[in-house]
Structure 1
Amino acid sequence: MGNKHGTSLPTHILHVKTGDKKGAGTDANVAVVLHDDQGKKSAPMTLDRPLRDSLERGSMDAHPVSDTSGLGKIRKMEITMDAFGLAPDWFVESVHIEHQQDKSIRVFPIHRWIRPKRHYVFDHLDCKLPQDDEQKEQRKSELEERRKLYEFAPKAPGLPVQVNQLPADEAMSDAYKWDIESRKKTLSRQAGLTGLMTLSGEWDSFDDIYALYSDTIGKPSEQILHWRDDEWFGAQRLAGVNTILIALCSSIPEKFGVTAEMVEPFLEGLTLKQALDAKRLFIIDLKILEGIRHNPETEIGAPLVLFFQKGNQRLVPVAIQLQQDKGPNNPVFLPSDHPMTWLYAKMYYNNADATFHQVVTHLGFTHLLIEGVALATHRNLSPSHPIFRLLAPHFLYLIAINDLAVSSLVSENGWVDKTMSSGRLGMFDVVAKAIVDWRLDIDGTLPKHLEARGLLDENVLPNFYYREDALPLYWIIKKYVSQIINHFYDSPEKMVEDYELNSWRQELELEREKGGIGIKGIPGSGTFSSNEELIVTCTSAVFLASVGHAAANFPQYAEYAFPPNYPPFIKGQVPTNKNPLSEEDILQSLSSKRQTLDVMVVTKILSEKGTNSLGDFEVQYLYDPVSVKAADTIGKNWLS
């Protein structure tokens, strides 16, 4: 390439990385022109490696060039290509230009499809606010194309928006395959469950369930050992998959039929008032589940639970009401009730909690809401925009996973219909309710959410493990985001003049009914007026996509694999009395054998870690020194 005589020593080497996306490679003839910082430029040079396929999907190709000796520091690069080949479009991840004499490297992060017969110009580091970019028309035309590719709408009334058709940019790489059905078959075979997957009927004993677990799929030993214990039930609220519900109780709600006489025997000598004043009582209210649709074999409660923090700092339940309004057919279950009756009440609460976890905490908040942010980002921010480059690593495969999950897990007669009490229609009901009141500046901002629940003070509810782990991570992420945003917006005028950013914000907060994403509580009033407002917004998106998702997703197998520990499905009606129950009654209420195996296998797959940890990005988008240092810092802080 560019070596006319074949004997000249190369002056530069172009290291060209083709993206790992479906159709990313090209057979077209690609030409580049390099510009230096003195205004000089090279002749057009063709990226060609004789006798060798190059520019293939996922490849890194080195192209020596020898007719650039008169150039200084490379500042700009032009790319053009013809339409040769069946599918000439080419997805370029990056071009690193290495100077052979001093070994310096100039980086051009592209992260775009290059189309035939178009002219592209990219600056060194390619990270500029739109008002400062010479390539304004290029940015404009790219965004016009992306708005067509990333059109969106809710999949059902009231739901968050999703992309209408999965764009090629969002296709998963060869290195990340997320095929639920094939993984189910493979894992079932490896774990020795293949023959069992055809089992039908109910469980005869807990020993039959214990026998399911092999070394391959893993035995949820702690859950099997402790699932009956009150302290374990309390610990599930503090370090399980759904830690976003528990709140400080300052008074007993009128609808909760708890009296002092009922609970004071379990308060270690305190009166109800003393326990409230000492901030040792906590509550969960799942009113959101009231009236939702459900599978015909089941009924889902809308429970209230009162917890007490013991002197040993362990949290235990002291009262459970399984429906909202107190009354004779809605008893308050107590630890002094028949042991199996009390255990069954805890299981029914956990069934409601599991419904909220899968529907809201996991799918609703860390998948669907974040997809809305990703869609607005792709549609309004050029890949050259620093906020696009800041957020893009956290959207990796998200839209593709959501598309696949909705089509395979949440489809009619799919996994949700078969294994969860709510079924997919109840799931839609709960998500639609949850997003009505969700606010980014409260629910999506961890310190504010903890404060709203009375739990920001570390002296309240010691051993709240999620808070102890997640809050420091929130501050690490915010510091990382702040360093980048403060670098690029070093004057108020830059934020005011950033028309791409203003467009992004407007689409994020525009109501879904009017064609927007519909996110409430974005800081500021219509526009960002300070760096802090943008920092809070971006920090929330990064936190939910990373820490929030990790907390809700990765422990799933441990919680769900043993059905009575955290049952997604319970047959029968919500209890309306305190009649004594037997172990046989509990066994008969559990998921069937086939349902249990399906839950085990799918939650095992969902619990697998498929992408790198925060800061260790699969694809690097930001190369400027400030951003690189910020990313390096987040990785070091993460480890410490």
Structure 2
Amino acid sequence: MLSIATSLVRLQFPSCHVKQLLNHFGPQWSCLQSPRGSYLCWISRQYTMAGKSAQYKVVVKTGDKKRAGTDANVKIILHDAKGQQTKAAKLDNFLRDDFERGQRDKFTVKDAVDLSEIHQIELWRDGAGLYSDWFCDYVEVTNSRTNQEFVFPIYRWIRPEYHYLIQHLDTFLPQNDPHKNQRNMDLEDIREKYQYTQRVPGLPCQVKAIPDDEQFSFDYKWNIAKRKLKMIADSKLQLLTQGGKWEGIQHLTKVFTNAFGEPLGCKRWSNDIFFGWQRINSMNHSLIKLCTEIPKKLGVTDIMLQPFLEGWPLHQVIEAKRLFIVDLEILQDLPCKNEDFICPVPIALFFVNGDGRLVPIAIQLFQQKANDNPVFLPTDPPYTWMMAKMWYNLGDASYHQSLTHLGYTHLIMEGVCVAFHRNLSQSHPLFKLLAPHFLYLIAINTRGLELLVAPNGWVDKTMNIGIKGMFELIARGLKEWRMDVHGTLPEDLKRRGVYCLNGKILPGYYFRDDALLLYDAIKNYVTKYINLYYDSPETIEKDWELQNFGRELTLSREEGGCGLLGVPFDGKFDKPEQLIMVFTCIIYTCSVAHASTNFPQYDEYAFPPNYPASMNGVPPKDKSPLTEEDILMTLPDKKTTLDVMTVTKILSDRGTKSLGDFEVQYIFDPDAKQIVQEFRAELKEISMKIKRSNEHRNPKYEWLDPEVVPNSISI
């Protein structure tokens, strides 16, 4: 029996067979009490240990992208830091369709080698199957003996037969990456997919063709055309599709059904207090400036304004910082969709009254003083004053849709997104920081521009300026926008003279108050994250991926870059403060800035007298009394109104998760995860603070509660 057991050991006979023999000869073996018997037991034990398998639990997450799933054969090798490795194991569950899009698959890998720590994995696939392409999000490996988990972020399309080497946590600056060739290979592939184009001269650069990575994984929420048809059918508004003029303003208020809900503009459109509130808390919240002197082109006098200043002399109102101005000079000579339509170029003065409310006190609809360009006042005939406010809002709406919304969030950030993908590897810590904030941006821009901002599309149908005027206005605005001013909230507020933490200047500016809380939270988050990975200026200077990113941000659009102004040191980064400013701006713009200008759209636009983007006729040239019929004659017809209602309702929907609650988890480094948790905790405190503030606000300002601010520009 000794010779049999010894032979079994030498032949490395399967341990399960040895156990069967031991059981079979058990009575005879158990009687061996001599040293020789003990030796047999020792041999038996040693052989059993030698044949025992180590076991690993492997979890693979396939990406939630179109065509991300695969039918190919996938294999894996596990490595430790000492050079030990397992044999190649095929990841396959019998009679299960593994690696489907968005799916987490669990596998068991057995091997004779027991790795206490898994330092890196080697992952590859073949080209088998009808659909062999595969996008893998991450792989988790757990040693069943130690129960220790190791995470390997991938977030790549896995090319066939290439053995990817991915280290635990895979978070490296390029100068520290042990697999530089693999990293550069991936970036070269990505640069082929993400190429710049300028679709219209003067506009921001965009992606030349939408990569598969950027396609929506599901369709319904973002299929605007289908949703429009469904909303109209559900809301029984088919009668409006026939067009025709409105019979009266009261009739207009009755078209809103449960499917849409009544927009806030229905009840407040004629109120001066709410007209002032629109300037600071609606979609175009960042045009108003402190007025330090009356511009010569504005045809007002001290005597004219005196009745609206509550007994204060004009110079004292200015000294007390209670007078504010909006000047839409940028609209001067802006083309409209055809000669039948007009876009005003208004200037308006606003006064903070004794109740702390901002109210309009003078509106001039065009830039230069003239007999046929009067200054309209609150004491003018009621419908004449209403008409002046409506034409002012048409100019304001033209600026809002072209610049505040489309140009300064969607389009500028698409160029930044392209530069981001072209230059920062998936292994770069800053890729992991920014990636959640670019989710669906390129996809929604592509779909939105095709449907809404196209010849004879929604903009042409519902706005006086049409796409011709919109594109011209975006080009003008892009020459002014600076990342270090307009993209940096505190600096923008200071530029306009309205930066104030105690509310004494321009009280009731809820956008400012809430946005500053969020801006500071984002900056705090970015500061901690940047400092985690960059411990010296040299670390920044040697990061060639970061430097290339900065170079493309500032490179002119004609030379194949974003052409952004105000990027620190022309994109040649050498200080953490520069990175903090840039990355704070990007996250803030993709989340807070977009939310504040996008989600109030239905409440403002759906009731045309409140905030018209289209008006018929010409603005009043004198102060003659007007009637409700005059108001109705300027409004778009029923069909156009329905088009505005449906699209702004869809655009006001929130399609993705709240700020800090990321749809895709890119960050696995424990120290970085702790920073994310601290960010979420700060956002939770801010949410509670805003909710408490809204208990005393009339009306409430809920657009910047972190619970309703998405991570990205996804609608």
Range of TM-score over shorter length: over 0.9
SS in 2 for 1:564: coil
- Could you say which residue in structure 2 is the equivalent of 1:20? 64
Q: Distance in 2 between matches of 1:158 and 1:81?
A: 45
Q: Match for residue 617 of structure 2?
A: 572
Q: Residue 479 of structure 2: SS of its match in structure 1?
A: helix
Match of 2:575 among 515, 526, 530: 530
Instruction: State the AA in 2 paired with 1:563.
Output: P
Cα shift readout 1:539-585 (whole Å, capped 9, x = no counterpart): 00000000001101111111111111111111112332222111101
1:73 is displaced (CA, Å) by 1.0
**Aligned positions of 1:281-360 closer than 5 A:** 281-296=323-338, 297-360=340-403
Quote the residue 1:169 is aligned against. Answer: 213
Match runs of 1:160-559 below 5 Å: 160-174=204-218, 177-193=221-237, 195-220=238-263, 222-296=264-338, 297-458=340-501, 459-559=504-604
In the aligned structure 2, how far is the partner of 1:311 from the partner of 1:553? 31
Structure 1 residue identity aligned to 2:590: A
Is 1:32–1:78's contact at 8 Å kept on the other side of the alignment?
yes
Per-residue deviation, 1:525: 4.3
**1:68 offset after TM fit, Å?**
6.3
- What amino acid sits opposite 1:397 in the alignment? Y
**Could you tell me how far apart the structure 2 residues matched to 1:196 and 1:478 are?**
50
TM-score by length of 1: 0.97
Which letter maps to 2:346?
Answer: P
CA distances 1:80-137 after superposition (whole Å, capped 9, x unpaired): 1111123311001111112223332211111111011222111111111000001111
Task: State the superposition RMSD in angstroms.
Answer: 1.6
Residue-by-residue CA offset, 1:394-435 (whole Å, 9 max, x unaligned): 000000000001111001100110011111111101100001
Q: Select which of 182, 186, 198 maps to 1:142.
A: 186
**What amino acid is aligned across from residue 459 of structure 2 in structure 1?**
V
Residue type at the aligned position of 2:175: Q
- The one-letter amino acid paired with 1:390 is L
Does the residue aligned with 1:66 lie in a helix, a strand or coil?
A: strand
C-alpha separation in 2, matches of 1:631 and 1:247: 35
Pick aligned residue for 1:62 from 106, 110, 115: 106
- Counterpart AA for 2:471: F
Q: Which has the larger radius of gyration?
A: 2
Residue range with higher mean Cα deviation, 205-214 or 281-290? 205-214
The one-letter amino acid of 1:619's match is V
Instruction: Report the Cα offset of residue 39 of structure 1.
Output: 2.4
2: distance between equivalents of 1:46 and 1:482?
43
Q: State whether structure 2 residue 150 is matched by structure 1 residue 109.
A: no
Amino acid at match of 1:257: G
How many Å apart are 1:30 and its aligned residue? 1.2
Aligned with 2:203 (options 123, 147, 159) = 159
Task: Tell me how far apart the structure 1 counterparts of residues 247 and 74 of structure 2 sit (CA, whole Å).
Answer: 67
CA drift at 1:633 = 1.6
Cα deviation for residue 634 of structure 1 reads: 1.7
**SS of match in other structure, 2:136:** strand
Task: Determine what percentage of the aligned residue pairs are the same residue.
Answer: 48
Q: Is contact 1:508–1:517 with CA below 8 Å preserved after alignment?
A: yes
CA–CA separation in structure 1 for the residues paired with 2:417 and 2:582: 13
Q: Secondary structure at the match of 1:111?
A: strand
Q: C-alpha offsets along residues 497-550 of structure 1, whole Å, 9 cap, x if unaligned?
A: 000000000000011122111111012244111101001000000000000011
**The one of 82, 88, 96 aligned to 1:38:** 82
Q: Is the 8 A contact 2:300 2:375 kept in 1?
A: yes
Per-residue deviation at 1:635?
A: 1.5
Contact residue 115 and residue 143 of structure 2 kept, 8 A: no
3-state SS of the aligned residue for 1:437? coil
Unaligned runs of 5+ in 1: none
- Contact 1:495 1:528 (C-alpha < 8 Å) held by counterparts: yes
Count, aligned residues = 635
d(CA) in 2 for partners of 1:303, 1:507: 37
Q: CA deviation at 1:483?
A: 1.0
**CA separation of 1:19/1:197 partners in 2, compared to 1, >3 Å: closer, same or farther?**
farther
Q: Secondary structure at the match of 1:13?
A: strand
Whole-Å separation in 2 of the counterparts to 1:316 and 1:132: 58
Q: TM-score, normalised by structure 2?
A: 0.87
Give the drift of 1:455: 0.8
Relative to structure 1, the CA distance from residue 439 to residue 68 in structure 2 (aligned partners, 3 Å threshold; closer, same or farther) is farther
Q: Which runs of 5+ in 2 are unaligned?
A: 1-13, 17-50, 686-715
Shift of 1:55: 0.5
| Aligned-pair CA distance for 1:620 | 0.6
Report if the CA contact (8 A) 2:409-2:594 is conserved.
Answer: yes
